[in-house]
Structure 1
Amino acid sequence: MAKGKKSLEQQNSGKTEQFSSTGFILAAIGSSVGLGNMWKFPYVTGQNGGGAFFLLFVLCLIIVGLPVLLGELAIGRAGRGDAYTSFKKLGGSKWWGWLGFIGILAAFLIMTFYSTIAGWTLHYAVQSLSGNLFSNGDYAGQFTAFTASTSPIIWQIVVMVMTGFVIARGISSGIEKFNKIVIPGLLVILLIMLARTLTLDGAAEGVRYFLYPDFSQITFESALLALGLAFFSLSLGMGAMLTYGAYVDKNQSLPAATLAVGAGDLIYALIAGLIIFPTTFTFGIEPGSGPGLVFVALPAAFESMPYGNLFGGLFFILLAIAAVTSCLALTEVPVAYMMRRFKMSRSKATIWIMIAMYAIALPCTLSAGGVLSGYTWGGRTFFDWMDYITQNIMLPLVGLLVTILVGYVWKGSGEETGLSPTWMKWWRFSMRVVAPILILFIFLSSIGLV
């Protein structure tokens, strides 16, 4: 509680908590390296032709992702507040503040269903390490039975408690310290898994599928998917990077930090692909088998490996770590708002946010295979609606607002980035023309108009 009071005093005196340079980059990488890289990226890549889609993903990351990331970090550092405060300050109007609040709401709602999947990964890690996961070969049946039981509720609570505990400890003592431990650990586990999968019999074929582009597989729809995935994988449009930017020291180079975060995101996605695709090709698994790839198809592959329970356990621990680091960034967004808006201590704001989140997260879990899964509206469950509304409407909308604020409204945006005159021209062109047009395509495609 003393830490919470100190944080409040810092706010009232015009000061904010801060990351160290290394701590910020690791926390930002932790935010971006989540289930988007480890769970969604592999199966979406598999559904869209492999190597050509990966190349498109990289191009979208560079052309749209990095410029918007730099814009969000600049808004956060200049505004020195939550998304509402920073948008209001730099936009010069309370209406801009309320537009920024959409990002806060997006992070809040994403956490309600993201914590469900994070809980699944923790359960599967324990089941794999104990060997119980491989007690029978009906992995689809196991997954269905698990999601229909009360176990997901318990694991979701575990995720919520872990997240709340770290957030309540603050920026340097909580989020930064946690990421300094787990992000290097995550890389170690990835490299161990990579070394194992590259020695599998079908590794060469899997690597070829992932890295050698076949452009005949590319469609306009897959190009938009690559653009949306690049946007989502960097945690853009949800206020997370903007909020983290508020804790960045003025001496920190934002372009260097942007490149570091983008490189980290790309490296983790690359390694994830080099783990997934050699495994799927070795054991005859369809690489585009959808969201069930991780929880249904891959356990069958781990069962066939020597020491499969160990490698399966490591893989799901890897997924769980990636999920929790993103949970921290998502939760910090509304917590930061509550602290400033209602003059709350960090610990009190965290408790209220976690309670409110769980009130919506519980029906998300119950509708993802549980007792509420039979109740649909417009063909979607409650879980599906939370996913659809946030990722297809709110994130592109906030991303578009960021480009408008930075490109047209806030006059000091270029100076805050610290870019050289030449690079600043390219960045402004991207934020004023390229990024808004492409983000608008994402939005129109996601709602079915393109």
Structure 2
Amino acid sequence: MERENWTSKLGFILAAAGSAIGLGNIWRFPYVTGTNGGAIFILIYLAAILFIGYPILVSEMTLGRKTEKNPIGAFKKMASNTPWPIVGALGVLSGFVILSYYSVVAGWGMSYIFKSLNFTAESNFPQIFSAHISSFTEPIIWHGIFMFLTIAVIGAGVVNGIQKLVKILMPILFGIIFLLIIRSVTLDGAAAGLSFYLKPDFSAITFQTFTDAISQAFFTLSLGMGVMITYGSYLSEKESINESAAFVLVFDTLVALLAGFAIFPAVFAFGLDPASGPGLTFITLPAVFTQMPFGSFFSLIFFLLLTIAALTSSISMLEVVVAFLVDEYNWNRKKASYLMGCLIFFVGIPPLLGYSSFSNFNFLGMDVLDTYDWFTNSIFLPTGGILTSIFVGHIWGSKNSIEEANKNSSFHIGSIYSLLLKYIVPAAVLFIMLFNIYQTIS
């Protein structure tokens, strides 16, 4: 069976950027920024994206294109009869587990598209959110709808499914976010939010600022879970990896920064707390929207934005799992998509019930969803990123990766990339991983 390829450079960039742009940008980035002092966090985050995110992104793309395989197949082809394919298996497992609870949170966002139509200034938003996530039926229905959409796209294929969808959704995503920014920055009192977001306060720097910035950079770029290896495997040799990776980095960072422009001016304009944590999206922002002219409309399009961003990421996670079965076991794509999608749906039931039937569950002070998230984002992804960097930098060799990345590229990478990939990236990510584990268990 002939392997599919992206039919254009734009198709690949939009798909890879769509994978990177997700809940991490619209849901996670604003509240992490808010709890870490605003502008100063952004400066450190940008450094993390450039010096840690970019080298790993390039290394994963080169590994994928060189082998034309899924994560397990890629390591198997480059280092057969060694334990290295386990790194690829860890990536596939990470994508599988992350999608199971990612779909749950995306389902919350999708439900809010419709809930927001009935919000008023008198609505009790903490109670509304709590009632939704602690009910049994509603979250399961929305989790199921979101997973079905993800399965349908992947079942249609790389070109007819992923590429066709992102070419439609990505422009819509940017259109919605610009509309929200215009509304937010024109509110009375928005200047305080812009100041918080743009004016660095160096006294706000803590060690946690650095760990959160590196963790966010890792999470938002879909690194360590085999997505960029898989997407890179469909990339033609005529295209430039260096430029494509740079575009993905720019698009992903741009959406995260734009989300801040849409959120912080509005939060400050109505005197609410920018450091309200994960509840910023489902509790604080709905309260903000009800106080705006045409608030229901802006609330609806915000949660539509959240859903679109989540969908462009979820399809990349399912593609990793499906590509493995198609490549290694010659499964039919539709069969692999529907079977794995249904299995992931069921694995997502425990975190979904963590606020109702399984509310007594406790692991190191975390509920079921946070436990899934902690294992994947604090252990699986960093481990995958560290080992991939070591493999590409030392086993396959950074010279070979550089040669692959520089093909048909208008700008070349070299010794700085090699130094970062072989030494700086593994050391920094390992340090952050151990620090996060220590913080959780201590």
Give the alignment's TM-score, normalised by structure 1. Answer: 0.94
- State which of 418, 431, 438 in structure 2 corresponds to 1:428: 418
Name the structure 2 match of 1:101.
89
Asked if residue 121 in structure 1 is aligned to residue 109 in structure 2, the reply is yes
In the TM superposition, residue 241 of structure 1 has moved relative to its aligned partner by 1.1
How big is each residue's C-alpha offset from its partner over 1:391-450, in whole Å with a ceiling of 9 and x where there is no partner? 000000000011101100003222111178973111111101111111111211221179
Aligned match of 2:127:
141
| Counterpart residue identity of residue 381, structure 1 | D
Q: Residue type of the partner of 2:226? A: G
Gaps in structure 1 of 5+ consecutive residues: 1-8
The 1-side partners of 2:105 and 2:38 are apart by 24
Alignment of 1:40-439 (within 5 A): 40-128=28-116, 131-134=117-120, 136-149=122-135, 150-367=137-354, 369-411=355-397, 412-418=400-406, 423-439=413-429
The residue type paired with residue 73 of structure 1 is M
The code of the aligned residue for 1:340 comes to: D
Aligned length: 435
Q: Deviations over 1:200-254 (max 9, x none)?
A: 1122111110111111101112111101101111111111111111111111100
Kept in 1, the 8 Å contact 2:30–2:263? The answer is: yes
- Kept in 1, the 8 Å contact 2:65–2:233? The answer is yes
Contact 2:6 2:163 in 1 (8 A): no
Please name the residue that 1:27 is paired with.
15
TM-score (norm. length: structure 2): 0.96
C-alpha distance in structure 2 between counterparts of 1:51 and 1:396, whole Å = 25
Task: Determine the C-alpha separation between the residues in 2 that align with 1:304 and 1:231.
Answer: 35
Q: For residue 396 of structure 2, what is the amino acid of its counterpart? A: W
> CA separation in 1, counterparts of 2:4 and 2:298?
42
The aligned residue for residue 5 of structure 1 is: none
- How far apart, CA to CA, are the structure 1 residues paired with 2:424 and 2:375? 24
AA at the equivalent of 2:118 = N
- Paired residues of 1:113 and 1:361 also in contact (CA < 8 A): yes
Deviations 1:320-341 (A, max 9, x none): 1001111001110111111122
Give the partner amino acid of 2:270.
F
Q: Give the counterpart letter for 1:159 in structure 2.
A: F
- Letter of the structure 2 residue corresponding to residue 374 of structure 1: N
The 2-side partners of 1:431 and 1:440 are apart by 13
Separation of aligned partners in 1, 2:157 and 2:76: 24
| 1:93-128 residue CA offsets vs partner (Å, 9 max, x unmatched) | 441112211000000000011000000111001122
Shifted more, 184-193 versus 356-365: the winner is 356-365
Verify the 8 A CA contact 1:339 1:349 in the aligned structure 2. yes
CA distance in 1, matches of 2:162, 2:308: 13
Partner residue, 1:4? none
> Is 412-421 or 334-343 further displaced after alignment?
412-421
Deviation at 1:374, TM superposition (A): 2.2
Tell me how large the CA RMSD over aligned residues is: 1.5
CA distance in 2, matches of 1:169, 1:161: 12
Indicate how the Cα distance of structure 1 residues 94 and 126 shifts in structure 2: closer, same or farther if over 3 A, else same. farther
Separation of aligned partners in 2, 1:74 and 1:372 = 43
Percent of matched pairs sharing the same residue: 39
Structure 1 residues 294 and 92: alpha-carbon distance in aligned structure 2, compared to 1, 3 A threshold: same
Q: Secondary structure at the match of 2:274?
A: coil
Report the Cα distance in structure 2 between the residues aligned to 1:181 and 1:94, rounded to whole angstroms. Answer: 42
Cα pair 1:393 1:446 within 8 Å, conserved: no
CA distance in 1 between counterparts of 2:257 and 2:87 reads 34
Inter-partner Cα distance in structure 1 for 2:28 and 2:74: 31
C-alpha contact 2:72 2:85 (8 A) present in aligned 1: yes
For 2:276 and 2:157, how far apart are their aligned partners in 1? 40
Deviation at 1:382, TM superposition (A): 1.9
- Counterpart contact for 2:402–2:413, Cα < 8 Å: no
Residue identity opposite 2:193 in structure 1: G
Equivalent position amino acid for 2:255 in 1:
Y
Does 96-105 or 420-429 show the bigger shift? 420-429
Question: 1:376 aligns to what SS in structure 2?
Answer: coil
One-letter amino acid matched to 1:425: S
Is the alpha carbon distance of 1:19 and 1:291 closer, same or farther for their aligned partners in structure 2, counting shifts above 3 Å? farther
How far is the alpha carbon of 1:377 from its aligned partner?
3.2
**Aligned CA distance change for structure 1 residues 209 and 152 (closer, same or farther; 3 Å):** same
Residue identity in the other structure for 2:370: D
Query: What amino acid is the match of 1:333?
Result: V
For residue 446 of structure 1, what is the aligned residue in structure 2?
436
